[in-house]
Structure 1
Amino acid sequence: MKNESRLILGGYGEAVMSRMFYSNNYKRYTDAATYADNDGYGQFDLPHVVFYVEYDFGGGWTMQSEIEFEHGGTESAVEIEKEETGEYESEVEQGGEVALEQFWIQKSFSPAFNLKMGHIVVPIGLTNQHHMPTEFFTVYRPEGENTILPCTWHETGVSLWGKTKQWRYEVQFVAGLDADRFGSSTWIQSGTGSPYEFKMATSYAGVLRIDNYSVKNLRCAVSGYVGNSAKNTLSPSKFENINGTVCIGAFDFHYQADNIIIRGNFDYGHLSDSEAITSANKSMRQDSPSPSQPVASDAIATGIEAGYNIGSFFKIIPSNRTLFFFGRYDYYDSMLKTQGSVIDNECWGRQKISVGLNYKPLKDIVIKTEYSHRIFSSQYNNEGTFSVGIAYAGFFNN
């Protein structure tokens, strides 16, 4: 009998080449006519490269840690300035982000009762719970959820979860979001994490997710989040008498049978005191991490994708390989509703149509192509993009 290793190593990663058929000038929404006929631009990207380690201590105790490099991580260097004063200079050579996405210790009492403590993924919506590149068709993560919600959303806290044959549940107590980092184009997305060496947690949040597997080949889930955000800032005086309660409800599903896969999501969020938060953020110092932008009271993201394994029509493709042709539709608006004097910027109500191919030569490797067309209100320019990507997700020592 083969002994299973108590140490598991794994990860996932993506490399992407894209050609955008629109301007990348920051004024393309405020002065759309000037940039209507732009030739566009291209880019290479490493959206996510993640390595994780899991270890079974025995007695029901396990741990997992996961480090993520977004967009190639960061690089910096120190050199002596040759042309000015001879001083040492620090330079940023490459953008991106390095983040500890998960670090938790878990005690498992039974399959239906597990207690996880540490830095954990917040499972709101489809993409946060299923964010590996083999779990969605598009080259980049589905754009709606990835815009209005943190993705992958991770916070420090405690999780109680369990599963039976037909149900899985998870309840979390985590740090709340930071209202001074909310913005117009991405709603509460940047409110997670922290620009400091610590995470402000004067206010807290609760999370619930329930998945059901009763129908053959179908998984359905509902998830919700409630928590205050206004006190999780280093400028509490600007947020006096403000709660900034964030409420999010989400539904998602996954259906897979024979050569068909269909996935979908619907997310709706509400932020109380959005007018007061907007005013407080606009009064922040210029060197603060706040974007100092208007914030909406309500936001929405909904999407559906469907794919068919057209490789089943071709005898030259072995049965253990798949070639999916897919289509996807997204509608999302980070300023769906505004409060009081906050002006709704209509350019943040967007639709996106995508078509493409996913080829899997192996279960853990996928090569993707996609053409997407982002659709705005009539006064703005639509945005087309062609992308090619290769990705993996798997375990290294199994």
Structure 2
Amino acid sequence: MSSHRCVGLGASILDLGFNSRGAALLAAIALSFISSGSAFGAEDSANEALLKKLDKMERRIQALEAELKQKDSRTPAPQAASIRSANAAASSVEPKEAADTKDPKDAKSKPAAQSAQMPAKPMLQLPPLPAVGDKPILGLADSPVAGLSIGAYGEIKFGAMQNPAANGQWQKGFDAARFVLLPTYAITPNIIFNAEIEFEHAGSGFDNDDKLHGTAEIEQLWIDFKILDQFNWRAPGIDLVPIGYINQHHEPTQFYSVNRPELYNGLIPSTWKVPSSSVYGTISEDLKYQVMVSTSNEDFGDTFDNRTAAKTVPLPGTPYAAGIDGLNGLGFSRPPLGDFQQLNNAVAVSGRLDVTPTFLPGFAGSVSAYFSPNTTPRGAHDDLGNFLGHSSLAMFDAEFRYRVPETGLELRGEYVHAEFSHPENLRANNDSDPTNNVGKAMYGYSGEIAYHVPLGTILNSEWEAVPFYRYTYQNLQSGGFAGTDANMPTGAGQRQFHTAGFALFPSPKIALKATYQHVIDKSITGAMSDSFLGGVGFFF
């Protein structure tokens, strides 16, 4: 009886194994028990217990076999065929590069979890359950289209800050600052589509009922033609000017404060997006480059309603806001992105060199430059009706990041300088408001120290805390004011920022942040812009 049962059970198990991985595993266990029973044939009592166990196992396997047959009969043939074809298509595309580059300029830089190119999967009647992190479309399901992936980043901010317009009164607040979708599609292995679609401040428009006061915009939109490692072309589209690391890598997991570093809040008008085309590539293992031509920034910071049909600023006699000024830097000078609304024919040129020397592990840096021959918009004038001449803009940026090997210490530093050829022609110096005047140059620098503290495994993830301190100085109102305004610098453009706090990383893709910032300037009242902020950021 025992031999017949063993043979029948083995056959049943092996037959079931062709239909299910789980059954195959049970077969292996059962056969193991069989061999064990043979080895101890002399021990009748042990065999008796073993046969009872095998009898229970046989009944369980028969029940599982019946259940699987029932499921197979309910699976439509077209569905099984579509599963197989999707798996075959996914396995036919090359996988992308690893996520540690995190370079939005490289179409292969999305995190590995985003990649739509999945490894080959077995062609079964029922699809296997995907592993955690093995779902490229927003972490929910396998990509229905080979080559397509969608990532996302975003940040939530809350806390209290001083309001200079209320004499420095502390006010609490909350901001769903941004949510950004990052679709990428490999049209071919060498032609890559990339976009960045951003929703800011919790809504896509102004809505009194839902208390929405936000925007929706295309932040990046381009197609890459991958030719050689040394030379690739980015077709005309919307792209980021290659000035400064955080301008190009502004995801909230890339910096430790709740807000972006201060140099990127006007002096560098992050996110500095422009209509452009560029070439880029790898010069050597240590050196990469990018060269861009783009629409020039404009010295016009007013609404679209104040642009005439002739694509000029308002006619003389009508005031308009400056795009470049001594309080906001270049923050309002970015060129428009749509509907042929540019007020300037000038073409700007910019370039960047990224350095990662192999002889200095943990170090990375860059130098970059930007030049526009003319930022003056058509019809520019002062408040007296006099037309303004041209003024060029040249910028230089140098920065570094150094994670000291085998320690938690990290150092960062940056210097930015902007130069104007004819500041007397800038609107800020001709708008009857001396508080926002601009001199010959603007500049700023910062230094940051951080320390990475591993916290161990919590909730199946390696947590890390990063306390940091950053000092920043910037001068947006250097000497040499000229124009029709009174030469009366206010000191508000000369600011010092002391920023301290920590970022807690439950995963490299999530950052929980807390920041205190103290601001000092040379104005009569002082900056009155201190803040205590918390934040949640993510990037996947």
Range into which the TM-score falls when normalised by the shorter chain: 0.7 to 0.9
- Say if 2:270 is the partner of 1:130: no
Cα distance between partner residues in 2 of 1:254 and 1:45: 29
Contact 1:228 1:244 in 2 (8 A): yes
Distance 1:46 1:279, change over 3 A: closer
Deviations 1:348-371 (A, max 9, x none): 111111111111111100100111
Provide the residue aligned with 1:53 in structure 2.
Answer: 183
Report SS of the residue matched to 1:138. coil
Report SS of the residue matched to 1:189. coil
Provide the residue aligned with 2:327 in structure 1.
Answer: 185
Q: Note the C-alpha offset of 1:266.
A: 0.6
- Say if 2:383 is the partner of 1:253: no
Report SS of the residue matched to 2:454. helix
Q: Note the C-alpha offset of 1:315.
A: 8.3
Provide the residue aligned with 1:7 in structure 2.
Answer: 148
- Say if 2:390 is the partner of 1:243: yes
Q: Note the C-alpha offset of 1:206.
A: 0.4
- Normalising by structure 1, report the TM-score: 0.83
- Say if 2:442 is the partner of 1:299: yes
Q: What amino acid does structure 1 have at the position aligned with 2:175?
A: D
Higher mean displacement: 107-116 or 257-266: 257-266
Cα distance between partner residues in 1 of 2:529 and 2:157: 18
Provide the residue aligned with 1:389 in structure 2.
Answer: 535
Distance 1:72 1:184, change over 3 A: farther
Report SS of the residue matched to 1:347. coil
Provide the residue aligned with 1:288 in structure 2.
Answer: none
Q: Note the C-alpha offset of 1:245.
A: 0.5
Report SS of the residue matched to 1:25. helix
- Say if 2:452 is the partner of 1:309: yes
- Say if 2:263 is the partner of 1:144: yes
Contact 1:244 1:272 in 2 (8 A): yes
Cα distance between partner residues in 2 of 1:107 and 1:295: 41
Higher mean displacement: 169-178 or 54-63: 54-63
RMSD of equivalent CA atoms: 2.9
Q: What amino acid does structure 2 have at the position aligned with 1:385?
A: S
User: Structure 2: 5+ residue runs without aligned partners?
Assistant: 1-89, 94-116, 118-145, 301-322
| Correspondence for 2:159 among 18, 38, 56 | 18
Q: Note the C-alpha offset of 1:113.
A: 0.9
Contact 2:492 2:523 in 1 (8 A): no
Cα distance between partner residues in 1 of 2:298 and 2:529: 31
Provide the residue aligned with 1:263 in structure 2.
Answer: 412
Contact 2:287 2:354 in 1 (8 A): yes
Decide which structure has the larger Cα Rg and report it: 2
Provide the residue aligned with 1:351 in structure 2.
Answer: 496
Cα distance between partner residues in 2 of 1:315 and 1:192: 45
Provide the residue aligned with 2:172 in structure 1.
Answer: 42
Contact 1:265 1:302 in 2 (8 A): yes
Higher mean displacement: 5-14 or 239-248: 239-248
Contact 1:296 1:342 in 2 (8 A): no
Contact 1:248 1:269 in 2 (8 A): yes
Contact 1:48 1:70 in 2 (8 A): yes
Contact 2:247 2:270 in 1 (8 A): yes
Contact 2:490 2:522 in 1 (8 A): no
| Correspondence for 1:168 among 281, 288, 300 | 288
Q: Note the C-alpha offset of 1:100.
A: 1.0
Q: Note the C-alpha offset of 1:228.
A: 2.9
- Say if 2:482 is the partner of 1:337: no
Report SS of the residue matched to 1:134. helix
Contact 1:24 1:40 in 2 (8 A): no
Deviations 1:321-372 (A, max 9, x none): 2111111111112212343354322011111111111111111001001111
Contact 1:282 1:293 in 2 (8 A): no
Q: Note the C-alpha offset of 1:66.
A: 1.0
Provide the residue aligned with 2:370 in structure 1.
Answer: 225
Cα distance between partner residues in 1 of 2:532 and 2:160: 5
Contact 1:179 1:233 in 2 (8 A): no
Cα distance between partner residues in 2 of 1:188 and 1:162: 29
Cα distance between partner residues in 2 of 1:281 and 1:98: 33
Provide the residue aligned with 2:278 in structure 1.
Answer: 159
Cα distance between partner residues in 1 of 2:174 and 2:280: 39
Higher normalized helix content (fraction of residues): 2
Higher normalized strand content (fraction of residues): 1
Kindly indicate whether structure 1 or structure 2 has the higher relative contact order, using CA contacts under 8 Å at least 6 residues apart.
1
Distance 1:362 1:127, change over 3 A: same
Cα distance between partner residues in 2 of 1:103 and 1:54: 10
Provide the residue aligned with 2:194 in structure 1.
Answer: 64
Would you identify which runs of 4 or more consecutive aligned residues in structure 1 move more than 6 Å? 236-239, 314-319
Cα distance between partner residues in 2 of 1:210 and 1:68: 27
Distance 1:101 1:319, change over 3 A: closer
Q: Note the C-alpha offset of 1:391.
A: 0.5
Deviations 1:170-212 (A, max 9, x none): 0000000111322221122211132974341401100010011
Q: Note the C-alpha offset of 1:40.
A: 1.1
Q: What amino acid does structure 1 have at the position aligned with 2:465?
A: L
- Say if 2:397 is the partner of 1:277: no
Contact 2:490 2:523 in 1 (8 A): no
- Normalising by structure 2, report the TM-score: 0.62
Deviations 1:94-153 (A, max 9, x none): 323322111111111112211002111112123212211111111010012222221010
Cα distance between partner residues in 2 of 1:160 and 1:6: 23
Cα distance between partner residues in 2 of 1:230 and 1:292: 21
Provide the residue aligned with 1:112 in structure 2.
Answer: 230
Report SS of the residue matched to 2:426. helix
User: Structure 1: 5+ residue runs without aligned partners?
Assistant: 27-34, 78-89, 285-290
Provide the residue aligned with 1:81 in structure 2.
Answer: none
Report SS of the residue matched to 2:478. strand
Cα distance between partner residues in 2 of 1:296 and 1:156: 28
Distance 1:206 1:112, change over 3 A: same
Contact 2:461 2:506 in 1 (8 A): no
Report SS of the residue matched to 2:153. strand
